[in-house]
Structure 1
């Protein structure tokens, strides 16, 4: 039987979770056991996009959708909520966060639109605050996010409430200040202090990226890929001589590094 629509997928998951006739592995899963799979599937979606493999993207989006259906089914079994409520919830959120599309509101600038988005999210967080306790504007950022992503989100929240540099130039000055403090901490020999100052440096670099409208997570990923390509070039050149990397002087490796940069630059510009 071919089950290709959403209802069919939900029925398929219900059958897999049936204690009597379902799959033993699927039956024993719970919210917590699925966490690593959910995270992995989200990263595999991102990987397919970065590789421009859209056939794989379709498959990976299906795998990610399966995780949503799986969690929703577990919740339904426990009487918490079901998939329909999940879909209704995100639909309501989209309407609430896009008054310029659904309510005739006019925004003159991207900044106004972004501020309205942040205000809508703040209202949603307040609605979740059933005890009506004072809530920080930084509340609700998932603790399991990658550090760079969490840092950017927190800084965006603070900036949306006025805690931000008015322009970009002072952020460059702050980066230089934090770098000097890292150097001073290193000279002191206090490793705990070094770690603290390196953290401060990374935080302000994320802030600089935000001001430059650069996604720090993507920027670091691309830089790591570039480093890997250049290092692979060095490895190939050394292997061609029958030697190992450890047998080479740093000066030779550094020279090959600069050669790799030039080769990649030529390739990128269409040169030979």
Structure 2
């Protein structure tokens, strides 16, 4: 597809959304607002990620279309409110990408390495949006694991960080002990949160993305559990028999871990 044909396709989508939102259009689409559509936007982004994980290019194409629809939907509502248009959205991101890639579109074309590019990106971004705290700008709506990792990484920029992974791991053990000795539900809940945060911090020190790691572990558990759940009478079997089935499934599906991994 050429750039021209892509633009024609986007214009068609914009026209469809305008018709859906106009008087006489779709009542459901007309009833929506930013808040009601936001959960769908998040869901579509995750479905894009899922298609990528599964390596399904046909599904990825479809899901990217659904995500593009979300952008067009939000932009249409903003245009109706007199706030901005889809063209404003596109112009803003174009300007941002050019501004943050001076080694490509600016005078400083010196072929820097990836680390230098990243550092330049972050410094330009910081200059664009001065903040009172290094923690500003981490969206509160992010998944908890992802937000925890971003928050701890931001704090680490100030030097407030373990010098190595061993210190972070020791903190995980400390939080486990505190959870074990907690004496009330509220205290256990608080210590459980501290344990999860400490675990995320430890993974960050190992350069492991916590959100991806847990998603992969959950998918692995799901595959193995579905395999043993298909056994006739599985739910009535004693735990040791279920565990034997689990170990067999684990070996058959060539993974690692115990009942939770």
Residue by residue over 1:37-71, the C-alpha shift from the partner in whole angstroms, topping out at 9 and shown as x without a partner, is 21221122112112211111111111111111111
CA shift at 1:90, angstroms?
1.2
Question: Which residues of 2 match residues 152-163 of structure 1 at below 5 A?
Answer: 152-163=149-160
Cα distance in 2 for partners of 1:108, 1:45 equals: 31
Structure 2 match to 1:45: 48
| 1:175/1:204 contact within 8 Å kept | yes
Following TM superposition, by how much is the alpha carbon of 1:259 offset from its aligned partner in structure 2, in angstroms?
Answer: 2.0
Partner of 1:250: 239
Which consecutive residues of structure 2, in runs of 5 or more, have no partner in the other structure? 256-261
CA-atom RMSD, angstroms? 2.3
**Is 1:12 the counterpart of 2:6 in the alignment?**
no
Shift of 1:222: 0.8
Alignment match of 1:141 (pick from 138, 142, 148): 138
Alpha-carbon distance in structure 2 between the residues aligned to 1:60 and 1:16: 20
SS of residue matched to 1:265: coil
CA distance in 2 between counterparts of 1:183 and 1:107 reads 53
Indicate conservation of the 8 Å contact 1:122/1:137, yes or no. no
Selected match of 1:119 from 123, 127, 139: 123
The normalised TM-score by structure 1 is 0.82
C-alpha distance in structure 1 between counterparts of 2:114 and 2:165, whole Å: 18
Deviation, 1:84, is 0.9
Partner of 1:64: 67
Structure 1 gaps, min length 5: 127-133, 267-272
Question: Is contact 2:103-2:112 (8 Å) kept?
Answer: no
Contact 2:234-2:242 at 8 Å conserved across structures: no
**How many pairs were matched up?**
249
Which residue in the other structure is 1:264 paired with? 253
The change in CA–CA distance for 1:49 and 1:143 in structure 2 (over 3 A counts) is same
* Structure 1 pair 91–29 and aligned structure 2 pair: CA distance change class (3 A): same
